[in-house]
Structure 1
Amino acid sequence: MDTTFTDPLVGKLLDGRYRVESRIARGGMATVYLALDIRLDRTVAVKVMHRSLAEDPSFVRRFIGEAKSVASLSHPNVVHVFDQGTDGDNVYLSMEYVPGRTLRDVLRDRGRLPAREALEVMIPVLAALGAAHQAGLVHRDVKPENVLLSDDGRVKVVDFGLARAIEATNQTRTGVMIGTIGYMSPEQVTSGATDARSDVYSAGIMLFELLTGRQPYEGETPMSVAYRHVHDTVPLPSALLPGSPVLLDTLVARATARDPAARPADATALLVAAVEAHRMLPRESGPAPSVPIAPPQGHALASASPAPANHTLVQPRTDLLTGPATDRRASPPAKARRRFRPVWFLAALAVVMMAGVGVTAWLSSQPTPLTVPKLVGENVTVATTKAQQLGFTVESGKEENDEKVPKGSVLRTEPTAGTQVTTENSRLLLIPSAGPKRIAVPNVVGISEAEARSKLAEAGLAVNAVKKQASETVPRGQVMRTSPAVGNLVKEGSKVGLIMSAGLLTPDFKGMPRDQADGAARSGGFVPEFVEQTDAAQPCTVIAQDPQPNAEIDKGAAIRLTLSQCNNPEWHWPWENNGENATDNGGVVSVMPNVLFKDIQAARGELQAAGFKVKIKKGLGRGRVLAQVPQAGQQVPPGTEATLWQ
């Protein structure tokens, strides 16, 4: 982890949510930080794009689109994207934090991997790429730096879609190729065209490097390497590493064919071939050990195995080869004759030997014990291959939901790991994980609160909160929508908010002239009923209403509006003097503009520009002027306050 603390983002709160703890790494396009999501209290990796990219609008637009696509890609071997956003000049991705090392770090430490181990890294990589290809996504930059090996043994692929987003920037318009030249397919070099088969080519180059410890092409300049990708055929791993399995030569050759049509159609097709190759490899695969040179024929010591350490190797004696053979056989030494064993002893020895042979035969006929390996958390395909190679008969059970074990991984085995079984009873049941159980929010729109609560309970969900909102289309007391929305997948037992229709809310008619109040009520679907009474207010204006403003009411209901006396010659505007248009400013008056039915904000601006003060009251809430006081055409002093109902 990069321990440089001079980075200006370290210690800052990004976008009001991510507290940047430290810098993990810095690359050519972005810097990765370790951060704490203070909203969900979890550790995440935050990738912040470099300023040159963040300042390009085309990149930001494409980056947001690609982030949404990748976020929808749920696979145990893909680094999950949680969030995307901008904070000032910072364009960032919030991703799953995977503690561990990159595949590049492993290659740097070890040089190369044995054949089986190389395939066990490539299989989850191809599974991740295959899932992306099925979803219509192409990685475009497959390389060891973008493969993470977690501390608990998981393999994760990162940076899906980032290369595509960069293709939209000004950097590509200057002739810069997007990708890493050592892993770039011929068509990517020549035309920039990429599809799933381009990722297959890059994966083949990466497999070559895992097996041999180096890339197939090296050159003084990137363009010389690019030229070789276009014009040369990738060498077989066995050409650099004699003894490398032929199966892997074939796999690399198919994946790195210069003609895209000759490659596997996508990563899933290559995955099938890789799994089959892994199954057929011997347990100890890789380059053959050095073979010792046999000694020339005729040497007395050309033995297949050395003599026991506690014995003396007797050299040939030339004196025993001289003289007649009869002399050596006819006169055995007297001492030897005295050591002759009786017949009963030889018989007993024969019985013991036969018993030993019988016991050995019985032991060899017994079933070989097998120990169930630890497979929980591994990809089901890889786990199946491993168990079969150990001699187990593998069966797959029904998927079960689990909050921790990703979909497609082994949730548990029957028998459990460490259990000893025999070859006669080698059945091993793998229970795959279906991932976290998620329930779709049922459709409760258009039904009552009680019915909605019942329907949510049947689905295993509960009601979180109930809010009311005015609606002209949904009848009062019915569900308008839910939060989360209908169809969204949520955890079992989650709480769902209900937004209920309050029907129509009565507008505030107080102060409206009669004719404007009548029009506003009818346009809102109400039936106005007017009653006059003597009052000192402006003639023929609403002074009271029933129901009161903001009361819930059904469409078509009657509203009782009480008017001030319509013929009241005694009433005058405050600025009038005995009915004369006399004002305190020497008789200067302004004419009130007509802003009825205009956009409320435009009407406000027009009146303010004319020198009037503006007060806005809630009517039907449709954003247009329903009524105005003083009415259009009236002469009023400059700076008079106009009341508008929207």
Structure 2
Amino acid sequence: MNKGYVLNGRYEIIGRLGEGGMADVYLAKDLILKREVAVKLLRLDFRDNPQAKKRFQHEAMAATQLDNPHIVGIYDVDEVEGMQYLVMEYIDGEDLKKYIGDHFPIPYAEVVNIMEQICSAVSEAHRHHIIHRDLKPQNILVDKNGYIKITDFGISRAGTEDTMTQTRSIIGSIHYLSPEQIKGQVATEQSDIYSLGIILYELLTGKVPFTGDTAVSIAIKHSQEAIPSVRDFDPRIPQAMENVVLRATAKDPNDRYATVDQLADDLNTSLDRSRANEPRFVVPEKKSDLNEATRVMPFPPLQDQSASANDQASQRSEPAKQASKDQPPKKSTSKKKKRRRLIIAAILGLLVLLAAFVMIVTANGRTTVPVITGTTEEEASQKLQDADLQVGKVKYHSSDTVDRNRVISSNPKENTKIKKNTKVSLVVSSGPRKVRVGNYVGQNYNSVKDRLEREGFKIRKRNAPSGTFKSGRILQQDFRSGAKLNPAKHTLTFVVSTGVKQITLKDLTGMTKAQVVSYANKEEINPTFDYVYSDDQPKGRVVRQSPGANEVIQQGGNVAVWLSRGSKSSKQDTLKSFNVRITIPYFDANSDAESSSQPLTGSPSADTPSDSSGDAQATSGSSENVVFIYLKDHDHDFSTIYKQMVITKDTAVNLPFKLTKNEVGRYKVVRDGKTILRDNNVTQDSQ
């Protein structure tokens, strides 16, 4: 397709981006929405191939079900003049394969950050029961800011489908394919987890673990050979990080992580000092493996008197005169044989009668409700039919533990003996209960908190001074208005105005961290903690504060508190302190062209959730930006807020870091639930 060609009267081709096995990808301009897009066009030699067309449609269906910032969005799918095409989000960057080649070696903290974004996207797909089946660096895009996007769901499959592969065929890229897929078995979530483990291996070593002259030789290595050690390649890699690779790439899917979220959680802590002495992960030995060897059973040779029942019956059926020829019996022996035959005949008759009785009772009697919990509705229906039962009423209830469209329970219960042809009612999962949340900015915090807690949400509160909203009114929320959220899995955070009330700080010297937090909560101020060596205060006690004792600050303001590390020893001489200066950009929601045309009034009576599509308007108040700063260094944990600020213009901030020579620090700045600044590779040389 030539430059300047307008596809379907809307997408003007700018140039070719790449070529694939079945499709070509072009950069184009959407003439209606005035934006750059990527157009994926089925190649000419595949346009009459129904399987190729099905793959195109499947990719569009799979991607449009998913709502995650790390998954490439599908804008349009259509066919014109026999050309089938997809219109996708355009990512200005490169694929992860090329990124690894250009940037290797990659700092470990950056590896964690990349994998965290990939896992977020894969986890979203798995929550919708979609298995990607072809995860590889070539299907992972990295934009100019290091932001990750996963693409190509063309061979993904729904978790409820049996398979999309043809008989005896393998779908997926051989270097990243799991052993069970190579064997032709159905791909599961653990298959994607295996591919993630191979991608992590490549990020750490710059190469794939298995290579060969043919695809078959590589497949055999995946199935039979242990994954090479990343620490053999680079001994500086922490054992905890290698353990993530080893567990994710275990040959048996049952030995891998149960979910992608478990992999991400384990990897996020792999650089922590608390895991420095972690032993190497070893796949647990299974009892069943010990019993699989062929063994000679110690049975003695069969004797004549232990002849089979068939042989005995055959012997008994021979004519009596033939037996008499071989060995003429005595009269007493003949009587005993007759008596034995009568007894055997009587027993056989009783058995026949008993079998007939059982058949009659079974035909008109009872049966057992089969185990159907966790099966699909269709599978449950088939099992009930096989047990001579009927499907009764089917009700749908939300569930946080049972997947969508799978059976939660039955009535009568499983393993209950009931009459045949009885109707069994089913309760089927409609998925996790989700509640639509609104725009609560300007409303009374206590009223909103009570209402949302009744829905099952956990609520967190942060304080901030404001000249716009009265004390107790919500300044900001960390979620988008109109979103549907699962109360069991979401904690909602609100920034609440404290007005402009002034407070006088007390002397915090000598307090513990818990005492400072308790005092700060009572006075509605926000403490930030730092650590210093001190000979005057024991470890964990306050050494100094800023502003100092008896100074006046606004309620909701920040107070810096320095806690003692204890006395300094020679082992701690390598710890170095330095500042990283950043400028936090201010966002004016009222003047932004993309914000909603209806400004927020901040009226406490606005109880009805807003349907405004402007994220900034829906989550921030007036002209004030509330930003959260997260920092990780020798003393600070990245999972907690280091500092909270209210800004009304671009604001420069010095971030204090304390790192040893081998430590890597990180920071990020979050506004309205979105990361606006980030650096995952802060070292002593970053000054």
Q: Which has the larger radius of gyration?
A: 1
TM-score (norm 2): 0.43
* More strand per residue: 2
TM-score (norm 1): 0.45
